[in-house]
Every structure is written in structure tokens, then in C-alpha cells.
């Protein structure tokens, strides 16, 4: 499956809601953002299972910035869709939603927002919702994917 991940509050902590991977001074200086602990392993496990992983965010971070940040953590993804591209594509397709993963070929989207789940129910796309304080987020993702396959 083509699986997309949201960034903010899903993989990038909004504050101290979840534990992040360690960053040294230099990396912080370069502006590499913290990432949820376990992210690299979850993504590489999913890739080993044959899934293609993408990023789908409504933030305006540039694609290159996101790709470099993920590269630092040893993560390689397929597409990176940011808000500029999201707005353009959804407007062209006349879709009234914050996110619409099928527009980018994503079969399943992982996000922290209930609103995205509701959009999925309305527009018929699959989501897995993990909250920042879900300690068992990895299990929720793995179970969700098994269920949706």
C-alpha cells in the first residue's frame, strides 16, 4: 500500500507530548526538527513489508527541508506533499477538505486529527488516527494497516 504520514503532532512533537529522538547541538543548530522516537524503525519495518511511505502535511515546510530532516534520521520516503501542493491540487479537483490522500495516490493516511478521520468517512478514504499521547502508537499503526489490507 501507499501509506502517507502527517508531520505535526504525528511524527514531529508539538511540544513535550511525546519523546523525540536525541539531537546533538550541531543538528539543532542546522535546524533539524525533533522526530517521534521509533519513527525510523516503524517506517523501515513498513517498507520491509512492501509498503511505500510518503509524507502528507498541511505545513508549508519545503520538500527539500523535510527530505533532509528525514535523511538525517535515516528515513527515505517516496512523495512529500506540503500545503502549497495540497492546496493547488485540491483546488484544481474542487475538493473541499483539508486533506484528500487519494489525489496523490495514497491508500491510507496516518494523522493526529479527528477531523481528518471525519473527512475520510465523508470522502471515502482510509485513515489511522494516533494522538500525541498514545504510548502504543506503533501498535495502533500496525494493527490498523493489517485491518485495512
Q: Which is nearer to Mg ion, 112 or 119 (CB)?
A: 112
Q: Which is nearer to Mg ion, 84 or 149 (CB)?
A: 84
CB of 130 closer than 8 Å to CB of 137: yes
CB of 65 to Mg ion, least distance (A): 17
If binding is defined by CB under 5 A, does position 107 make contact with Mg ion?
no
CB of 77 to Mg ion, least distance (A): 16
Q: Which is nearer to Mg ion, 5 or 146 (CB)?
A: 5
Q: Which is nearer to Mg ion, 14 or 30 (CB)?
A: 14
Orientation of helix 137-148 relative to helix 39-48, angle to 10°: 20
Q: Which of residues 71-90 bind Mg ion (CB under 5 A)?
A: none
Q: Which is nearer to Mg ion, 6 or 33 (CB)?
A: 6
Q: Which of residues 5-24 bind Mg ion (CB under 5 A)?
A: 6, 8-9
CB of 80 to Mg ion, least distance (A): 15
HEC sequence for the chain: CEEEECCECCCECCCCCCCECCCCHHHHHCCCCCCECCHHHHHHHHHHCCCEEEEECCCCCCHHHHHHHHHHCCCCCCCEECHHHHHHHHHHCCCCCCCCHHHHCCCEEEECCHHHHHHHHHHCCEEEECCCCCCCHHHHHHHHHHHHC
CB of 112 to Mg ion, least distance (A): 4
**Residue written as cell 500500500?**
1
Out of 39, 103, 112, 119, the only residue in the binding site for Mg ion (CB under 5 A) is 112
Q: Which residues bind Mg ion (CB under 5 A)?
A: 6, 8-9, 112
Amino acid at each position: 500500500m501507499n501509506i502517507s504520514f502527517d508531520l505535526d503532532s504525528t511524527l514531529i512533537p508539538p511540544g513535550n507530548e511525546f519523546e523525540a529522538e536525541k539531537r546533538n547541538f550541531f543538528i539543532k543548530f542546522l535546524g533539524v526538527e525533533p522526530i517521534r522516537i521509533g519513527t525510523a524503525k516503524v517506517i523501515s519495518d513498513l517498507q520491509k513489508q512492501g509498503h511505500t511511505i510518503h509524507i502528507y502535511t498541511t505545513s508549508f515546510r519545503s520538500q527539500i527541508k523535510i527530505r533532509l530532516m528525514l535523511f538525517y534520521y535515516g528515513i527515505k520516503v517516496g512523495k512529500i506533499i506540503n500545503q502549497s501542493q495540497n492546496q493547488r491540487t485540491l483546488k484544481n479537483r474542487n475538493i473541499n477538505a483539508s486533506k484528500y490522500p487519494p489525489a496523490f495516490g495514497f491508500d491510507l493516511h496516518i494523522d493526529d486529527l479527528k477531523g481528518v478521520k471525519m473527512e475520510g468517512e465523508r470522502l471515502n478514504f482510509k485513515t489511522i488516527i494516533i494522538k500525541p499521547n498514545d504510548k502504543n502508537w506503533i501498535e495502533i499503526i500496525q494493527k490498523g494497516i493489517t485491518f485495512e489490507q
